[in-house]
Amino acid sequence: MGIKILTPGMFTTVQDAGRRGYQSSGFSQAGVMDTSSYRAANLLVDNEADEAVLEIMMLGPSIEFGEDEVIAVTGAPVEPQINDRPVSMNRALQVKRGDVLKFGYPKSGRYAYIAFAGGLDVQPVMGSRSTHTKSLLGGFRGGRLEAGALIRLRNPRKRLRRMNKRDLSDWKDIYKEEPVKPSSELLRVIMGPQEDYYTKEGIKTFLNTEYKIHVDSDRMGYRLEGEPVEAVQGVDIISDGIAFGAVQITPDGMPIIMLADRQTTGGYAKIANVISVDIPRLVQLRTNEKVRFTACSVEVAQRLYRARQEEFERIKNERFG
């Protein structure tokens, strides 16, 4: 019963909202990369907002269903197919026992999400079902899914209320600022907490340079290539905590944006932090795609965050309630 992984794809893991409250003990938060697509997937199948999903990176798995279920696929356009017939993303889909779900290769984006109505029957570890592969913790045996893996569904549901309305294909990121150039993604950042480690010229460089995503980028962090950021007297600090979206500057002046699988502490000065509502767009960028940064206030970041949460609640109540 449940699902069987026929082929695992490039890097498919179980993820949820993350393992909170354990960074002080040295455990990475992990969790999904694209929090907006994750929230939308669970919303479509009437799950709690923090329910575990399968996160796909680029090339998706093939999955056989052992029972009837309702699913949703969101995120990067991975061209899902059920029994070799194309199906829509961003809407609730009914699957039958014996159906096989497959994916194509997305023309854009990195991460996609599969939510299962009723949730995956994966044992929580420290309050989370998220996988942190570097420490072999959580998810399915602490790693990416493998061919032959069997995962049960906790409470499979054959049909949901308002099935015909469980469609978010018209949902748009209304909080996105227009890019400086069509070829770059504009990311808003809150400056600090170690902004004073960088010269005025270095800060100007950081806020006016178009950076490329380096090939050496993963769930731990995205390395950037571009104009070096000048420091006053080096970038080494006494190690302190690292938030999702923190921008460290390495000794060679290059930014690294720390992401879901980041280490809990770090010894490079952090010049800024990408705001929460912009991280989903960041993580969907591929190698050699470009970003720019613009400074933002804490008040604006909080207002945008609250507005996004309220929008999801409004959609839930008005469309699916």
DSSP state of 3: E
Domains of the chain: 3-165 (no CATH), 184-304 (2.40.100.10)
Q: Mean pLDDT across the stretch 174-203?
A: 82
pLDDT at 42 over 80: yes
Determine the pLDDT at residue 172: 65
Q: Predicted confidence band at 164 (pLDDT cuts at 50, 70, 90)?
A: confident
Query: What percent of the chain has a predicted confidence (pLDDT) above 70?
Result: 97
Determine the pLDDT at residue 125: 95
CA dihedral 207, 215, 131, 24 (to 10 degrees): -40
CA angle in degrees (0–180, nearest 5) for 213-215-217: 75
Assign 206 to helix, strand or coil: helix
CA distance 178 to 187: 10
Q: Predicted confidence band at 1 (pLDDT cuts at 50, 70, 90)?
A: confident
Determine the pLDDT at residue 319: 84
pLDDT at 157 over 80: yes
pLDDT at 175 over 90: no
Determine the pLDDT at residue 115: 98
**For residue 145, what are the CA distances in angstroms to 15, 80, 133, 180?**
12, 18, 11, 39
Q: Mean pLDDT across the stretch 64-73?
A: 97
8 A C-beta contact, residue 80 and residue 118: no
8 A C-beta contact, residue 229 and residue 253: yes
Q: In which order are the strands placed within the sheet that holds 100-102? A: 85-86, 81-82, 100-102, 62-65, 3-7, 150-151
Q: Predicted confidence band at 173 (pLDDT cuts at 50, 70, 90)?
A: low
Residue carrying structure tokens 């082929």: 7
CA 99 to chain centre: 27
pLDDT at 4 over 60: yes
CA distance 181 to 178: 8
CB atoms within 10 A of CB 174: 9
Average pLDDT, the chain: 94
Give me the phi and psi of 22, to 5 degrees please. Answer: -125, 5
CA contacts within 13 A on the Cβ side of 41: 31
Q: Predicted confidence band at 196 (pLDDT cuts at 50, 70, 90)?
A: very high
8 A C-beta contact, residue 150 and residue 3: yes
Determine the pLDDT at residue 178: 54
- Give per-residue pLDDT as tens, 207-255: 999 999 999 999 999 999 999 999 999 999 999 999 999 999 999 999 9
Q: In which order are the strands placed within the sheet that holds 12-15? A: 12-15, 53-57, 111-116, 69-75, 93-95
CA distance 244 to 230: 23
CA distance 18 to 29: 5
Selection from 108, 121, 113 nearest residue 9 by Cα: 113
pLDDT at 174 over 50: no
